[in-house]
Structure 1
Amino acid sequence: MEVKLPAIALNIVRTEQKLMLDMVQQHSAEEKRPTSLQGNPSSAKDFGSLSVEFAVGVPDKVLSKVNPSGHGGTSVHNTDKVSPMGEHRFVDRTALFSLIKTCGKHKDLQRGSTVHTDVLERGLLKNDVGLFNALLSMYMKCGAPLKAQKMFDEQLMRNVVSWNALITGYVQQGLSDKALGCYEQMLDEGLSPNAVTFLCILKACGNTKDLDKGEAIHAEIGRQGLTEKDLVLGTALVDMYAKCGALHKAQSVFDSFNLQDTVMWNALLSGYAQNGLGHKVLSYYEQMKSKKIRPDSVTYIAVLKACGSIGALKKGTEIHHELRGQGLLYKDIMVGTALVDMYAKCGALVEAKGAFNELPAPNVATWNALIAGYAHKGMGKEALTCFEQMQDDGITPDMVTFVCTITACGSIRALEKGKEIHKEADRQGLLEKDNVLGNALIDMYAKCGSLDKAQETLDKLRKRDVATWTALIAGYVQHGLDDEALSCYARMREEGVHPDDVTFGCILRACGNLGAVLTGEAIHAEVGLQERDSVLGTALVDMYAKCGLLGKAQAVFDKLLVQSIAAWTALITGYGQIGWTEKVIDVFSKMTEEGIEPNLVTFIVLLTACSHAGLVDEGQMYFEKMISMYCIHPTSEHYTCIVDTLSRAGQFNMAICIIQTVPQADHLLLWSVMMGACRKWSDVELGKQVFEHAIMLDEERRAAYICLDHLYSASDL
C-alpha cells in the first residue's frame, strides 16, 4: 500500500537517500584503494574516524513507509518478513549501513546486535567486507570490544579497513595495549598498514608512553614516504613524542614542516604544557600568532594550563580578555574551565570565582577547578560551600569533586563533615574504583588527628598502593607517633609494597625522632646513590643529626648534588643540638657565602646556639641582620631567643626594651623567660616586677606563680 507523504517530507527523504547513495558509492570506491589522509589537514579533527563511517541516516520508520517504486528516489525494497525488532527487514545495503551507523552513534548495543543477527541470517556478510567493517565499528562504539573481537576472529575475509576498525576501537576504549597487539598481528598476517593505521597506532603509543614502538612506527612512515606530505601524520607524530616526554623529537618533527596548521601547533603547545614547560608554551604561542595562525579552543586551553603551571597571572589575565572579546567563554565550557583552573593555580581565587560567574553553564569539571583551588589555598570553608552549591544547582559530584572536598576538610580539620562525605562516597561505591579517594580520606583523618579512623580506612581498602601507606605513615609522624609509623612501614613492606622517596622521608624523620639509628642506616643502605637526591639526602642529614651522628650527617651533606636551605638548616640544627656553637656559626657563614639565604628556622637555631653559649654580641648581631638584611619579621620564637640571650647575660634593661616592642600576645612567654634569668642572678626585686607583668597576662595565674616560687626557692626566701 502506498502512503502519501507531504511534499516537504518527500523532499527530505529524497535528499537524505541521495546523500546515502553518494556516500556509499564513495565508500565502495575507497575500499578498493589504500586509505590515506595525505594532503588533507582538516582530517586531523576526525582523528578517530575511519572510512567505515557512512551516510546520513534515514529514520527506518520513514524508510518503511516510502513507496518502493516512488517519486524518483532511491528505491528501498521491503520484504514480507518481519524482523525481531517488529519492523520490516531491509535487504537494501544503504538502509543497513544507515541503521548500523545509528546504533553505533547512540550506543544502542541491543538494537545493533539484532541487526547483526538479521544480517547473519540473510548471509550478507559472506562477501561484503564493508558491511562487516560497519558492524565491527558499531560494536566498538557501543563499548563491546569483546563482541567486536569475537566477530573479527570469526570473519575470514578481512582487509586493512577491518584492522583499522578494530585498532581504532581499542584506542577509543582506552585499551591501547590491545591496539598495539592487533597492529603486530596485522603485520604478521602480511597486511600493509595505511595512513589511518599509523594514526591510530601513534595515538596508542602516546597513550602507553611506548617511545620505542613510536619511533619504529615513525621509521616505517618515513620508509613509505608519508611524513613529508601528510600534515595529519606529522601532527600525530608530534603528539606521540610529546606524550612520551621526547619533546626534542616532537620539536624536530614540527620543524620539518614548512607550513604548520593550528592543529599541529596545538599538538606542540599541549605537549610542552603537559610536561610542565609553561615558559616554552608562552614563547611558542607568541610565535604562532606572529605567523598569523589563528588560535582555537585547544590552543587557549594549553596556554591557560601553562599560565597556571608557572604562575603567569598577568598573561593569563590577557588571555581572559581575548576570550571574552571572542565570545569563547560562552561557546566552549572547556575553555571556561581552563580559565577558572588557571586563576586558581595562580592563587587568584577572587578572579577564579569571577571567571566562574561569567560562564553560562558550569559543569562538574568547572566546579572541581574552583573547589580544588580553594582546597589548595587552605580555604576549606569556601570549598565546602561550593560543594553544597553545586549540588543545589543539580550538578552531581564525581570522583575528583570528592577528592578535592575531602582535602578541604583536612585543611580546616572539619572531621564531622569529612565523615559525612566519606559515607556518601562509600554509598556510591567510589572507594572500590580508585585508590586516590581512599588515600585522600586517610590523609584527611590523619590531619584531623583521627588516626584510628585513618587506620580503619586503610584496612578496608581492597587495593593499597605506596601512596596509601605513606598517607598513614605521614599522619603518625605528624602527630609524634613515631613507633606506630615504623610499625606501619614494616607492615607495608610485608605486603610487598615498595616505598617511594616520600615514604623514605617520613620514616627517616621518625627514625631521627626516636634515635632509631639502625633502622635509619638500613634505609640509607637501601636508597644507595639516591642519597645525593636533595629531598632524600636532606632527610638523611636530618636523621643522622638528630641521632647525634654529625660525622655521617656531614658526609651525606657533602655528597648532595644540590644543597638546599633545608639541608643546610638540618646540619646547623644538628650541631646546635650537641652544643657545638662554633660549628653552627661556621656552617651558617659557609651557607651565606654560597648565596643561600637563611630562613625563619635557620635563625631560630642560630639564635638559640648563641643564647646557650652566652654569645650576646653575636646573638644581637644575627637578630639585627635577620631583620635588616634578610627582611625576616621576627616570630615569638625569635624574640624568646634574643630575650633569653640578654637575660642570661644580665642585660635586663635591653631585654625589657625588646619585650616592649613585641605584640602583647607574646609577652607572657617573654616575661617568663626573664623570670628564669632573675632566678639565675638571684634578682628578687626585678623578679617581683616581672611577676607583676606576667600575672596580668596569665588568666589562671599558675605559670607566673610557679616562676616566682622557683625564684624565692633559689634565693632561700
Structure 2
Amino acid sequence: MDLLEMQTKNAYSLANVLQICINHKAHKAGKLVQAHLHRTNQLSNTFLVNRLIELYSKCGHTAAARHLFDQMPLKNIFTYHAVLDSYCKLNDFSNAYQVFDQMPERNSVSWNLIISMLSRNGPKEKALESYYLMRLSGFVPTHFTLASVLSACGGVGNVECGRECHGVAIKIGLSGNLYVGNALLGMYMKCESIKDAVVVFKDLPEHNEVSFTAMMEGLVEADRTDEAFDMFRLMHREGIIDGVSLSSVLGVCSKSVVEEFLVNNDNEEKRQGTHGRQIHALLIKLGFERDLHVNNSLLDMYVKHGYMDCAEILFDSMVEVSVVSWNVMIAGYGKQYNMERAMKCLKRMKTYGFEPDEVTYVNMLAACLKSGDVETGLKIFNSMPFPSLTSWNAILSGYSQNEYHREAVMLFREMQFRNVRPDRTTFAVILSSCAGMGLLEGGKQIHAALLKAEFCTDLYVASGLIGVYSKCGKIEVAKLVFNKLSQYDIVCSNSMLAGLSLNSMDTEAFTFFQKLLGKEISPTEFSYATLLNCCSSLSSLSQGRQVHGLIAKNGHANDVYVGTALIDMYCKCGDVDGAWQFFDMMPCKNTVTWNEMIHGYAQNGRGQDAVNLFEKMIRTSLKPDCITLVAVLTACSHSGLVDAGLKIFNSMQQEFGVEPLSDHYTCIVDSLGRAGRFKEVEEIIEKMPYVDDSVIWEVLLSSCRVHGNVNLARRAANELFRLDPSNSAPYALLANMYSSLDRWDDVKDVRGVMEEWQVNKEPGYSWV
C-alpha cells in the first residue's frame, strides 16, 4: 500500500512538472521528464504520456508527439485530441484526418478541432460538410462549433447555411453568446446582408471590440462609410476602443477617399481627411501613439489621401517602424508619380537594415509603372530573385496600362517558359492587352490555355475573352463565349453589351439590355453609358429619353459618367437644349462633362453658346484641357467667330498652360481660311511645328479653293504632294479650283501630273 501511495505521489508530482513545462513551453525539460518515465517504466501511464504529447504539440514538435502516440499501448480520447490539435494547428489535413478516422470514439471537441481547421485555412465547403456530419452523428454544436461554421459560411458567401446556424443558435440558447453573436455579425456582413447584421447587433446583450469592428468593416464594404463612422462614435461613447478598432476606423478614412474626377472632390476629401486627423488626435489622447499597427494604419490613411507631408512627419516621429511602414511610404510616393522619392525611400530602407519583401517590390513596380517609367520597372522586376505571381501580375498590368501591349504578350510567354502558373488576374490582364492590339490569334491561343486550365467558367476571365473577340470584330464568337456561361454577372453582361455597341449592333444591344432587366440583373453606370452610346449611333431621341427615365428611376442620374453620356446623346440626336437642361442640373461635373456640352453646341452650330459656356467653365476655376480647346475652336470656326477663336488660340499657352497641338492649328487655320484672312493664316503656318500634318494643308487648300487664292493653294497642294503623292484629294481640289477660275491649262497640267504619278481619283457614289 505504501508503494502504491509513493507511485501515486510521484505521478502527481511529475504531472505538475509537466504542467509547468507546458505553461512555459519548456521542450528540453519535457525530454528529461520523458527520459525519467522511460527509466522508471511509467510510459504506460496514459495520463502522464498525454501531458507529454500535449507539451510537444504546444512546442511545435509534432513528430515527437506522434512518435509517443504510436508507441502508447493504451490511448484514450484525450490522447487523440492532443495529437489531433497539433496537426490542426499545422493545417496538416492529411494527418489530421488520419488521426480523426482512427478515433474509437468522438465528442464535440473532436469535431470542433476538424471544423475549426477547415474553417480557418482549408476548403470551407468541407467545414460545412463536417458540421452536417457532426449533427447527423447526434452531437449538439457548441459556441466554438457555431463560430467556426459561421466563419466558413461567410467565407463562401453561403447566407442560407448561415441563417440555418442562426436558427440552431436560437434553439439551443446561444444566440445571446457574444462569441457566437460576433461570428453571426461577421457572416452576415460578408454575405452583404446588412439588415440581418444590424438586427443581430441590436439583439446582443453586450458588445465588445470585435462586435463594433465587424460592423464597421462590413459597413465600409457596403460603401456606407457614414454609418461606419457612427458605429465608431458609439464605440467611443461606450469606452470600448483598442488598437484593432482604431486601425479599422482609420481604414474607413482611407477607403472613403472620393474619386478625383468629381468637381466637389476637394470639399468631400477634406471632410474625410478631417475625420482622419480627429482620430489621430484621439489615438494620441488614448495613448496609442507608440502602437506600431495603429501608426501603420495612420500612415496608410495619410498616404491614400495624398497628404505625403503629414505622412513624412509621422514616419520620422515613429519610435518603431517595420517593413510595412516603409512599404506604405513607397506606395505613397508611387501614387504621386514621384519615382525619385520612392527610390530614395527604398535606399533608406536598406540602409536602416530592413530587407525588402514581396510587397516592397510590388509597390516599387507600381510606382515606376504609374510614372510611365516601364524601363525602371522592368529592372526592378528582373532584380527580384524569385518573383511571385503577384509580381508577374503587377508588371504585366503595368505594361498593359501603359499600352505596351506587345511587350506584355512577350512577358506572358516568358512566364510560361518559367513554369509560373497564371491565375485569373494574369489571364484578364493579358486578354486586355490582346484586345488593345486587336491580336486575334493571341486571344485564341489564350482561350485554348483557358480551356486547358478550366478557367473559362470564371466570369472575370470570360469578360476579358468577350472583350478580345468583340474588339477583333468576332462578335459571334463573343456571343458564343457568353452563351456558354452557366451563370453571368453584370461585369460579363457589360462586356457583351459594349461588344454589341462596338460592332454597331445597337438594336441587338437594346434587346440584350431588356434581357438583363428580365433576369433581374441590376445595370451599372457603365451599362447605361453604353446604352446611351447606342442611342447616339441610332440617332434615336425617343429611346434615349426612355433610357434617361430608367436612369432617373434607378438613381444613377447624378453619376458623372452617366450624365456625360446623356449630354452626348441629346447633342448627337439634335436636342441641344435638352442636353443643356440636364447639364445645368448636374450636381457634379468634370472636365469631360463640360467638353461634351461645348462640343454639342459646336456640332449644332451654336458657336456663341459654346464660347459663353467655355468662359463660364473658366470662371468656375476648372482648368480646360486640350480637348476643351479643340471643341471651342471648332465652334468658333463653324460659326464664323474668327476673332473669338483667335483670342482663345493665342491665350492657350499663357493662360491655360496647354501647348497647341495639330488639332488646334487645324481649327484656327480653318477658321481664318473660311473668313479669307490668309495673311494671318500664313503667319501661323510659318510658326507652327506641325508642317507634316496633312489635315492642316487639306483644310487650307479647301479654303483657298472657296476664295480663289491660287498662290497659297499651290503651296498647300505641293505640301500634300510631298507628304502623300498617291492621295487623289489635293489633285482634285486644285483642279476644281482652276476650273472654277476658267484656268483650263492649269487643270490640264494637274491631270498630267496625276497621269505621270499614276494617281487615280476614286469615283463618287451615292449613299441612297
Q: Is the shorter-chain TM-score for this pair beyond 0.5, marking a shared fold?
A: yes
Within 5 A, what are the aligned runs for 1:161-240?
Answer: 161-171=144-154, 175=158, 178-179=161-162, 181-191=164-174, 196-197=179-180, 200-212=183-195, 214=197, 223-224=205-206, 227=208, 239=217
Asked if residue 671 in structure 1 is aligned to residue 697 in structure 2, the reply is yes
1-structure distance, mates of 2:500, 2:69: 71
Partner of 2:346: 320
Q: 1:602 aligned to 620, 628, 644, which one?
A: 628
Could you tell me how far apart the structure 2 residues matched to 1:309 and 1:207 are?
29
Q: Secondary structure at the match of 1:166?
A: helix
- Tell me, what secondary structure is at the counterpart of 2:62? coil
Deviation digits for residues 534-556 of structure 1 (CA, Å, limit 9, x no counterpart): 22222222211111112211211
- Are 1:94 and 2:79 matched, yes or no? yes
Match of 1:248 among 208, 211, 229: 229
Equivalent residues of 2:212, 2:231 under 8 A apart: no
The range that moved more, 253-262 or 558-567, is 253-262
670-679 vs 155-164, greater mean Cα deviation: 155-164
1:521 correspondence with 2:517: no
Deviates more, 1:266-275 or 1:459-468: 266-275
Are the equivalent residues in 2 in contact too, given 1:553–1:571 (CA < 8 A)?
A: yes
Match of 1:613 among 613, 618, 639: 639
- SS of the residue 1:545 aligns to: helix
The residue correspondences of 1:310-709 to structure 2 (distance < 5 A) are: 320-321=346-347, 323-325=349-351, 329-330=355-356, 332-341=357-366, 343-345=368-370, 347-432=372-457, 434-478=458-502, 482-483=506-507, 485-486=509-510, 488-490=512-514, 492-493=516-517, 497-528=521-552, 530-663=556-689, 666-709=692-735
Distance 2:301 2:640 in 1: 59
CA distance in 2, matches of 1:429, 1:154: 36
* Structure 1 partner of 2:137: 154
AA in 1 matched with 2:527? T
Q: Secondary structure at the match of 2:400?
A: helix
CA distance in 2, matches of 1:184, 1:55: 38
**Matched residue SS, 1:531:** coil
TM-score w.r.t. length of structure 2: 0.73
**Residue 73 of structure 2 is aligned to residue 77 of structure 1:** yes
Distance 1:168 1:563 in 2: 43
Alignment check: 8 A CA contact 1:237 1:253 kept: no
Give the secondary structure class of the aligned counterpart of 2:419. Answer: coil
Check if 1:134 corresponds to 2:134.
no
Instruction: Give the drift of 1:114.
Output: 5.5
Q: Kindly tell me: are residues 64 and 585 of structure 1, through their superposed partners in 2, closer, same or farther at Cα, counting changes over 3 Å?
A: closer
Deviation at 1:527, TM superposition (A): 1.3
Distance change >3 Å, CA 112–CA 469, structure 1 → 2: same
CA distance in 2, matches of 1:303, 1:250: 29
CA positional deviation for 1:437: 0.8
Please state how far the C-alpha of 1:166 moved relative to its aligned partner.
3.4
Counterpart CA distance in 2 for 1:691 and 1:584 is 33
Query: What is the number of residues matched between the two proteins?
Result: 652
Secondary structure in 2 matching 1:191: coil
SS across alignment from 2:450: helix
Q: CA deviation at 1:483?
A: 4.7
Letter in 2 for 1:518: S
Q: Is the 8 A contact 2:53 2:65 kept in 1?
A: no
Tell me, yes or no, if the aligned pair for 2:536 and 2:572 is still in contact at 8 Å.
Answer: yes
| CA distance 1:252–1:458, shift in 2 (3 Å) | same
User: Contact between 2:331 and 2:363, CA under 8 Å: does it hold in 1?
Assistant: yes
Aligned-partner Cα distance in 1 for 2:366–2:570 = 42
1:471-508 Cα shifts (integer Å, max 9, x gaps): 23334444655455445445545655443211111221
> Within 2, Cα distance between the matches of 1:14 and 1:275?
58
> In structure 2, do the counterparts of structure 1 residues 501 and 582 end up closer, same or farther at CA, with 3 Å as the change threshold?
same
Find the aligned partners of 1:669 and 1:290 in 2 and give their Cα distance. Answer: 56
Q: Distance in 2 between matches of 1:260 and 1:324?
A: 35
Residues 513-539 of structure 1: CA deviation (Å, up to 9, x unaligned):
321111101101111263343222222
Shift of 1:371: 1.4
Query: Structure 2: 5+ residue runs without aligned partners?
Result: 1-27, 38-46, 259-268, 277-297, 303-310, 745-768
Are 1:14 and 2:43 counterparts? no
Segments of structure 1 that go 5 or more residues without pairing to the other structure are 1-7, 28-52, 67-75, 79-89
Distance 2:350 2:237 in 1: 35
SS in 1 for 2:656: coil
For residues 420-453 of structure 1, the C-alpha deviation after alignment (integer angstroms, 9 at most, x for no partner) is: 1122112211011x21111112223333444444
Residue 59 of structure 1: how far off its partner (Å): 5.6
1:146-205 CA distance string (max 9 Å, x none): 133221343345433343443445456665764464245223311366565455445434
Report the counterpart of residue 45 of structure 1 in structure 2. none
Please tell me whether the aligned partners of residues 374 and 382 of structure 1 are also in contact (alpha carbons under 8 angstroms).
yes
User: Residues 388-443 of structure 1, C-alpha deviation per residue, up to 9 Å, x if partnerless?
Assistant: 233333321111111111112223333322221122112211011x2111111222
Shift of 1:624: 0.8
Q: 1:97 to 1:616 in 2, by over 3 A?
A: same
Q: Answer whether contact 1:57 1:101 (CA < 8 A) is retained.
A: yes
Q: Which moved more, 1:130-139 or 1:249-258?
A: 249-258
- Of 272, 278, 282, the residue aligned with 2:299 is 282
CA distance in 2, matches of 1:361, 1:261: 38
Judge conservation of contact 1:672–1:694 (CA < 8 Å) in 2: yes
| Cα deviation digits, residues 208-254 of structure 1 (max 9, x gap) | 34555555665677x54x73xxx777766665565455441465478
Q: Is the 8 A contact 2:470 2:499 kept in 1?
A: yes
Q: Secondary structure at the match of 2:397?
A: helix
Provide the secondary structure at the position in 1 that maps to 2:657.
coil
Are residues 58 and 689 of structure 1, via their aligned partners in 2, closer, same or farther at CA, if it must alter by over 3 Å? closer
How many Å separate the matches in 2 of 1:660 and 1:183? Answer: 80
Please state how far the C-alpha of 1:129 moved relative to its aligned partner: 3.9
1:376–1:269 distance in 2 versus 1, CA, 3 Å: farther
For 2:504 and 2:661, the matched residues in 1 are separated by 23
Distance 1:649 1:105, change over 3 A: same
> Could you say which structure has the greater relative contact order, defined with CA pairs below 8 angstroms and 6 or more residues apart?
1
**Letter of the structure 2 residue corresponding to residue 445 of structure 1:** Y
Task: Give the TM-score normalised by the residue count of structure 1.
Answer: 0.78
CA distance in 1, matches of 2:189, 2:740: 76
- Distance, in Å, in 2 between the alignment partners of 1:252 and 1:206 is 20
Contact 2:56 2:62 (C-alpha < 8 Å) held by counterparts:
no
Larger deviation: 148-157 or 395-404?
148-157
- TM-aligned CA distance change 1:211 to 1:355, over 3 Å: farther
Q: Is the 8 A contact 1:254 1:268 kept in 2?
A: no
Distance (Å, rounded) in 1 between the aligned partners of 2:530 and 2:159: 36
1:317-368 deviation digits (Å, cap 9, x = unpaired): 56534643565545x4345445544554565544544443454432111211
The answer to which of 100-109 and 658-667 deviates more is 100-109
